[in-house]
Amino acid sequence: MRTRCEIWAPAKLNLGLRVLGRRADGYHDILTRFVAVDLYDQLVFTRRIAGGVSLQLQVDSAGVRPGEFPLDEGNLILRAVRLVERAAGIRASLSISIRKTIPIAAGLGGGSADAAATLLAMTRLYGIDVPPRELGAWGAQLGADVRFFLGESAAMGRGRGDELTPISLFRQWWAILVTPPVFVSAGDVYGDLRLTLGAKAANFHDCRDREGFLAALRRSHNDLEAVVLRRAPEILLWQGRLREQGAAGVFVSGSGPTVFGVYMSQPSEKTVQSLRGGGTGARVEVARPVTTPLALVVQ
């Protein structure tokens, strides 16, 4: 049984998101395309003899402001530990260190990815034999996006986003991600949603070639975008700047506030630096789709 496990947890982008209606449980039924991209949080789990569970944030974590990343039981990482303890009947004692790179509360799934990494690490460190479907069900208890990070690196999500079907997807593209320094609550966005059931989302099944991908990209739409823009209109400026730089498509990821442009060739350093300049306080990152079969990368 291993005593140390390092996992790189990727961000996700939504390539199209339709909201199909409100569910009886208060959530919404959606249809979306998830793709994991190579912007990673790096988590190191070290099993120890005693001392309980501790969580440390590495000092070189990018863009994390004081108090923004809780280290107590409210953190999804520790909630994932407690879930496994209850499900497997164990008491964990381990140290968890995380280097945050994925912006927090940005529509990129960073918290969900970290929770998925924790579930996987716990099963490995404590020799817990759990089928993938059951592990995914554990993840769904923590959040709708968690199950995605335990599976394929590109998938179509239905229901709350946790009913997943792997998809074939052309992956020779880049994305520039811009996260402005604004907070947009996912709950408030869904609560303010005026359903537009006629909105289109691309069908990315078997979009393995460049032209098919571009055609699907042109049909993509995020039904949440209008609400996000009402709450954070400065995102409109970033959408315009990404289009000026030749983006084949510009989208809000999930419930925002991150907006990203899709590029069919690698953006130049000059382009990226021009977006980072100006003292706006926005995070600007370049990422590509993950090409590994699974979203999480175990080192």
97 pLDDT band, cuts 50/70/90, is very high
| Tokens standing for residue 91 | 């008491």
Amino acid (one-letter) located at 284 = V
Which comes out higher in pLDDT, residue 117 or 64?
A: 117
Catalytic residues: 12, 145
Listed by start position, the domains of the chain span 4-166+291-298, 174-287
pLDDT of residue 67: 77
Listed residue (81, 83, 123) closest to 98, CA to CA:
81
pTM of the model: 0.94
Residues 218-276: tens digit of each pLDDT: 888 899 999 999 999 999 999 999 999 999 999 999 999 999 999 999 999 999 999 99
DSSP of 164-187, one letter per residue? EEE--B----EEEEEE-S----HH
- Can you name the CATH fold of 174-287? Alpha-Beta Plaits (3.30.70)
pLDDT of residue 247: 96
Q: Nearest 5°: CA angle at 136, between 286 and 82?
A: 95
132-142 helix and 76-88 helix, angle to the nearest 10 degrees: 130
207 pLDDT band, cuts 50/70/90, is confident
Average pLDDT over residues 35-51: 96
Average pLDDT of the chain? 91
Contacting residues for 158 by C-beta, under 8 A, at least 6 apart: 29, 30, 31, 164, 165
191 pLDDT band, cuts 50/70/90, is confident
**Cα–Cα distance, 10 to 222 (Å, whole number):** 21
Beta strands in 48-124 (DSSP E): 53-57, 94-99
**Which CATH code of 3.40.50.300, 3.40.630.30, 3.40.50.1240, 3.30.230.10 fits the domain covering 4-166+291-298?**
3.30.230.10
The two beta strands, 4-22 and 53-57, are unpaired
| Tokens standing for residue 218 | 């042109």
Place of tokens 């098919």: 212
60 pLDDT band, cuts 50/70/90, is confident
Listed residue (53, 59, 47) closest to 77, CA to CA:
53
CA separation, residue 251 to residues 14, 61, 243 (Å): 8, 26, 11
**Residues in the chain, how many?**
299
Contacting residues for 72 by C-beta, under 8 A, at least 6 apart: 78
Which of 35-49, 54-68, 126-140 comes out lowest in average pLDDT?
54-68
Place of tokens 């960073």: 110
